[in-house]
A = this chain, B = another copy of it.
């Protein structure tokens, strides 16, 4: 298999480092708008026969098509901000490789009732193209990071192997990560965090279908395992809510993020001041988007690994009736410890936990274990080989029964 990764930020670089230990691919091209950044990743990998660098503007669909053809990619992994999903996804549709991403095309709020009804939903643009992919026998595996990604695999596993009937699939994400030496330093892209936390959160219910609420709704204290402890979680717009109901039979799907009160306050203040906006403002004759400036003023989370301490937990809390007919509440989860990911891969925990999942998916696709056509979420495919391979990669998943 020949792989093209578009975007060599934290996640793209970590995916390459994780894949390097596996034999399932013959060559990987690492492309970035900044050729030197891609080249630096290739040099760090130190295996010039298997890895090469390229330059591409991820907003330029024609350039992407040319690069996909030139690199003879069997699969392309989109490791860019979701802003670039459309050009990369449609370039893949044109050029032919299997397409993978870790977030779906962005939503647009309902013009009149943004906090009640959906407008354009996460992934809508991609799902609309599904039939065209299906007709070509081409696979777009969307949302195959950790969340969405592993969380969706957990939901499918719960349906297939743990539950006879599911009430709610509730993704719950929390961490006890701290960054030394900074008063405030997000451990994940602040641009994306603002996008997902300030957009109207998406909820699905069998009777109502998809609907939205005001940001930070339904606060809930969730107990995270392995000593991370209790964290205040709130509803957040996330792909799982758009994906899970399409393939998993349940009554309700939610996503709650353990932001903690300080982060919620920061996001509310950014919104109050208009600093979450992506619409450019004019500053001394120059046009910039306030959200880009917020991102630029904060340290790049991918560079903070050696100052971070703690663990991040991604998981799926499933409630309903077990295979034995009795009530069941199970949290399926995966914990990444920053100390381990830094020592073994030089990547910080959140970035690394995102990056391992598309590599596993690529390995399953290379082996023919996972295959399909059209635009699919991770829960459309058999979860068992994925979860087995995650253990095989030395980063086991776990589950915890709750009373």
List residues of A whose CB falls within 8 A of some B CB: 183-184, 265-266, 269-275, 277, 281-284, 286-290, 292-294, 296-298
- Which listed residue, B184, B266, B282, B296, touches A281 by the CB 8 Å rule? B296
Most chain B C-beta atoms within 10 Å of own C-beta, residue among A184, A266, A269, A297:
A297
Most chain B C-beta atoms within 10 Å of own C-beta, residue among A287, A293, A294, A298:
A293
CB nearest to A275 among chain B residues: B297
Judge whether A282 and B296 touch: CB under 8 Å: yes
Judge whether A184 and B284 touch: CB under 8 Å: no
Judge whether A288 and B293 touch: CB under 8 Å: yes
Residue numbers in B under 8 Å from A270 (CB-CB) = 269, 273
Complex alpha-carbon distance, A288 and B280, angstroms: 13
Judge whether A283 and B293 touch: CB under 8 Å: yes
- Min Cβ gap A158→B in Å is 39
Judge whether B294 and A183 touch: CB under 8 Å: no
Complex alpha-carbon distance, A273 and B269, angstroms: 11
Judge whether A277 and B297 touch: CB under 8 Å: yes
Residue numbers in B under 8 Å from A292 (CB-CB) = 283-284
Residue numbers in B under 8 Å from A284 (CB-CB) = 288, 292
CB nearest to A262 among chain B residues: B272
Known contacts being A265-B265, A288-B288, is A296 close to B272, with CB within 8 Å? no
Copies of this protein in the assembly total: 2
- Which listed residue, B184, B271, B275, B283, touches A288 by the CB 8 Å rule? B283
Complex alpha-carbon distance, A375 and B37, angstroms: 54
Interface pairs A-B: 9 shortest CB-CB: A281-B296, A274-B297, A269-B269, A184-B272, A293-B293, A290-B297, A283-B296, A283-B292, A183-B272
- Min Cβ gap A67→B in Å is 21
Complex alpha-carbon distance, A272 and B287, angstroms: 24
- Min Cβ gap A331→B in Å is 32
Residue numbers in B under 8 Å from A286 (CB-CB) = 286-288
- Which listed residue, B272, B293, B294, B296, touches A266 by the CB 8 Å rule? B272
Residue numbers in B under 8 Å from A297 (CB-CB) = 273-275, 277, 281, 290
Complex alpha-carbon distance, A270 and B274, angstroms: 12
Residue numbers in B under 8 Å from A265 (CB-CB) = 265, 269
Residue numbers in B under 8 Å from A282 (CB-CB) = 296
- Which listed residue, B184, B269, B290, touches A293 by the CB 8 Å rule? B290
Residue numbers in B under 8 Å from A293 (CB-CB) = 275, 281, 283, 288, 290, 293
Would you mind naming 17 contact pairs between A and B with Cβ atoms under 8 Å apart? A183-B272, A265-B269, A266-B273, A273-B297, A273-B298, A274-B298, A275-B293, A275-B294, A277-B297, A281-B297, A283-B289, A283-B293, A283-B296, A284-B292, A288-B293, A290-B293, A290-B296
Residue numbers in B under 8 Å from A283 (CB-CB) = 288-289, 292-293, 296
- Min Cβ gap A268→B in Å is 9
Apart from A265-B269, A277-B297, what are 19 other A-B pairs with CB-CB below 8 Å? A183-B271, A183-B272, A184-B272, A184-B273, A265-B265, A266-B269, A266-B273, A269-B269, A275-B293, A275-B294, A275-B297, A281-B297, A283-B289, A283-B292, A284-B288, A284-B292, A286-B286, A288-B293, A290-B294
